[in-house]
Amino acid sequence: MSDYKAVDYDVVIVGAGFAGLYAIHKMREQAPSIRCFEAGDGVGGVWFWNRYPGIRCDIESMQYSYSFDKDLQNEWDWSEHYAPGGEICAYLNHVADRFNLRRDITFNTRVTAAHFDGEEGLWRVTTDQGETLTTRVFIMATGSLSASQTPDIPGLDDFSGGTYHTAEWPHDGVDFSGRRVAVIGTGSSGIQCIPEIAKEAGQLTVFQRTPNFSIPAQNRSMSDEYRQDWRENYDERRRYAKEECPSAVVREFGPPSAKAVDKAARDAEYHRRWRIGGAEFMSAYRDIPTDLESNATAADFVRERIAEVVNNPETAEMLSPRDYPIGTKRICIDNFYFETYNRSNVRLVDLKKTPIKRIEASGIRTGTELHVLDDIVLATGFDALTGPLTRVDIRGRGNLSLKDKWADGPKSYLGIMVAGFPNMFTVTGPGSPSVLANVVVAIEQHIELIADLLVHKAKTNVDLIEPEPQAESDWGNEVNAVVERTLFSHSPTTWYMGANIPGKPRVILPYAGGFHNYYRICNDIVADGYRGFRFSLATEDRLQDT
Ligand code: FAD
Ligand code: NAP
C-alpha cells in the first residue's frame, strides 16, 4: 500500500435512510472511522421527508424491511400489512438506536461537493456548513427518489395560499379542514394523499395530466399468526426473493402466458388477486411485463374495475389509462383511491383537455376557468436516480464532473461505481435494479457488495477500486438491451426514462432485467475475481497521469 497522507475518515457516507444506516453498520466491520452526513434533522430518508397524509409502503412490511439482523427482524412488530410512513420512520429510528448509529451521523448538513485528489488518492468532501474533510472511501447513499421536482408552472410563486410538495411535507402536518385544496399529480404520492385530503378538505380539485393504473392494497391489521408465519419462514423467503424473484418480492407467480387461458378463467384469476391486494396482481401471468396482448388483458381488467367503482362514467373514463401498457409507469397501490371520486367534494380536472395556463394569487387558471384555492399540493415527483448525485458537485479523475460525464445519460458499472471516480460508490444508482425492485433488498445487496470490494482491496494491499471503462460500457449496453425485452419503451414519458425532467436525456435509468438476474450477475462477477473492477495503487496512477 502506498504511504500517502492520513485522511480525516476512512469512509464518508452521504444520507441516513435505509441505505446510509446499513452502510454505517456494515462499514464498522472494517473501517475505524466513519462520518455520515444527512441533510435532514433525523434518520429515515424518504420516510423522514415524505410525511404527506396517507403515505405507506407499497410492498408489504414483512418484506420491505431489513434482513441483515435476525433479532431485529424478529423483534419489530409491524401493525399493518402496508405500514404507514410514520411507522417505517419509527422503525428506522429504532435501527439507528439499536445499533448506536447516530454517533457517526452529522445531521442538518448537506454535502455540496466531493472532489477526487489523484495525487493523494483521496476524496475531499465539502458541506454546506463550510466544512471540508478528506476520506478514502466515499459512499453516496443519497437514494433514488430524494431530489424532489417542482414543475416550472408559470406564476407558482404568485400563489397567496399554502404550497406543499409531498416530498417536503411540514413535520407538524397541515390542517386542510374546510379548505379549498388542489392536488397536482396522480402518481403514487398523489394517489396516496388524495383520499386522505378529500376526507378533510372542504373541496378538493385533482389536476391530472396522465391517469395511472392502481390496485387496491386491501390493507389490514397484521395478525400475530401472519407475523409468526413469516418469522418461521424468513430465511427461505428472503433467499427466494433475492435469487428467484424479478422484483425481489415473494409473490405467487402464475403461468407463463395470459394468452394461454380464456377470458373467463383469466378474469377469475385477476379477481382472486385483486382481492388479495397489491402488486400480486401483476404476477398473475409471467408475460404481462413483456407481451402487449397479455398486458392488455390486465389493463382491461383494471379499467373495468375503475368503471365499476366510479359512479360518474365521464370521470371513470378520465381516470382510465389508455395510452401505455400497465406496469410501464410505476404501478400504484392504493387505499380507496378511485372511490374518492364519488365524494361530492372532489372534482377531477383533465389537464390534457384543459391545461394549466398559469397560477395566480387566488388559484389555478386553466384554459377555461379560474379554480379558486386556499392550498396547492404538488405531488409532482422527483429527479429520479441521477438527481441526488448530479445535484452534488462530484468530480473524479482529471476534474471531470459526474454531471458532464452523464450529460447524455448515466454510465455506471452495475449501478454501483463509475469509471474515473475511484472509491466512490453509488447505492442503488442508475444502472441497478433499484426502483424496479424491493428497494431494501437492493440496498442490502449493494452495501454487502461494496463491503466485499473493500475487503478485497484491503487484502490485496491496494488503494483504489474503479470499474474498467470497457466493463462500464458493456454494462450500459446490457441495461439498454434488457429493456428492449420489456414494454418500457411503449411508455417513453415516465421518470424511469428521465422524461419528467425538462432537458434530461431519455434513457432507461434502472436495470430492467430483474433483480434475481442482477444478483446472479453480481455473484458471478465476484466469483470471477471481481471481473470488470480495477484495483490499483495510487502511486501507479500518479505515474500513469504524468
Ligand atoms: P433515501 O431514503 O432517499 O435517503 C437518502 C437520504 O440522503 C435522505 O435523507 C436525504 O436527505 C439524504 N441526502 C441526499 N442528498 C444529500 C446530500 N447531498 N447531503 C446530505 N444528505 C443528502 N421503495 C420500495 O421498495 N417500496 C416502497 O413502498 C417504497 N415507497 C416509497 C415511497 C415514497 C414516497 C418514495 C419517495 C419512495 C419510495 N420507495 C419505495 C423508494 C425508496 O426510495 C426506497 O425504498 C428507500 O427508502 C430508499 O432509501 P435510501 O436510503 O436509498 O434513500
Ligand atoms: P411521479 O410518479 O413522478 O408522479 C408525478 C405526477 O405529477 C404525475 O402524475 C405527473 O404527470 C404529474 N406532474 C408532474 N409535473 C406536472 C406538471 N407540470 N403539471 C401537471 N402534472 C404534473 O411522482 P410520485 O407520485 O412522487 O412517485 C414517484 C415514485 O416514488 C413512485 O413511482 C414510487 O416509486 C415512489 N413512491 C412510492 C409510494 C408508495 O406507494 N409506497 C408512494 C409515493 C412514491 P405525468 O404522469 O403526466 O408526468
Stated as kind and residue range, the H or E segment containing 20 is: helix 18-27
Question: Which band of pLDDT confidence, cut at 50, 70 and 90, is reported for residue 541?
Answer: low
383 lines ligand 1 (CB under 6 A): no
Q: What is the reported pLDDT for 492?
A: 76
Q: What is the reported pLDDT for 539?
A: 77
Residue 543 has pLDDT above 70, yes or no: no
Question: Which band of pLDDT confidence, cut at 50, 70 and 90, is reported for residue 546?
Answer: very low
Atom of ligand 1 lying closest to residue 111 CA? 19
pLDDT in tens, 385-411: 999 999 999 999 999 999 999 999 999
Grid cell for residue 420:
474515473
Grid cell for residue 99:
445499533
On the CB side of 480, CA atoms within 13 Å amount to: 12
18 lines ligand 1 (CB under 6 A): yes
Grid cell for residue 415:
449501478
Closest protein CA for atom 32 of ligand 2: 330
Fill in the DSSP letter of residue 283: G
Q: What is the reported pLDDT for 106?
A: 98
Q: Compute the distance from residue 22 Cα to the ligand 1 centre, in Å.
A: 13
Atom of ligand 1 lying closest to residue 192 CA? 34
Closest protein CA for atom 28 of ligand 2: 381
Q: Computed over its alpha carbons, how large is the radius of gyration of the chain? A: 24
Question: Which ligand sits nearest to residue 492's alpha carbon?
Answer: 2
Question: Which band of pLDDT confidence, cut at 50, 70 and 90, is reported for residue 544?
Answer: low
Question: Which band of pLDDT confidence, cut at 50, 70 and 90, is reported for residue 3?
Answer: low
pLDDT in tens, 321-372: 999 999 999 999 999 999 999 999 999 999 999 999 999 999 999 988 999 9
Give the rounded percent of residues in the chain with a pLDDT score beyond 90.
Answer: 95
**Probe target for ligand 2 pocket from 61, 148, 209, with the most ligand atoms within 8 Å of CB:** 209
439 lines ligand 1 (CB under 6 A): yes
Question: Which ligand sits nearest to residue 335's alpha carbon?
Answer: 2
Give the rounded percent of residues in the chain with a pLDDT score beyond 70.
Answer: 98
426 lines ligand 1 (CB under 6 A): no
Residue 471 has pLDDT above 60, yes or no: yes
Q: Which residues line ligand 2 (CB under 6 A)?
A: 57-58, 145, 151, 153, 166, 184-190, 192, 209-210, 330, 333, 351, 379-382, 435, 495, 500
Question: Which band of pLDDT confidence, cut at 50, 70 and 90, is reported for residue 279?
Answer: very high
Atom of ligand 2 lying closest to residue 55 CA? 42
- pTM for the structure as a whole: 0.97
Q: Compute the distance from residue 509 Cα to the ligand 2 centre, in Å.
A: 16
Task: Return d(Cα 335, Cα 194) in angstroms, integer.
Answer: 10
pLDDT in tens, 183-219: 999 999 999 999 999 999 999 999 999 999 999 999 9
Q: Compute the distance from residue 98 Cα to the ligand 2 centre, in Å.
A: 34
Q: What is the reported pLDDT for 2?
A: 54
Among left, alpha and beta (phi > 0; psi -120 to 50; other), residue 166 is: alpha
Q: What is the reported pLDDT for 376?
A: 98
Neighbour-count burial for 520-535, b at 16+ CB within 10 Å, e otherwise = eebeebeeeebebbeb
**Probe target for ligand 1 pocket from 12, 24, 46, with the most ligand atoms within 8 Å of CB:** 46
Grid cell for residue 492:
417513453
Atom of ligand 1 lying closest to residue 15 CA? 7
What does the mean pLDDT of the chain come to?
96
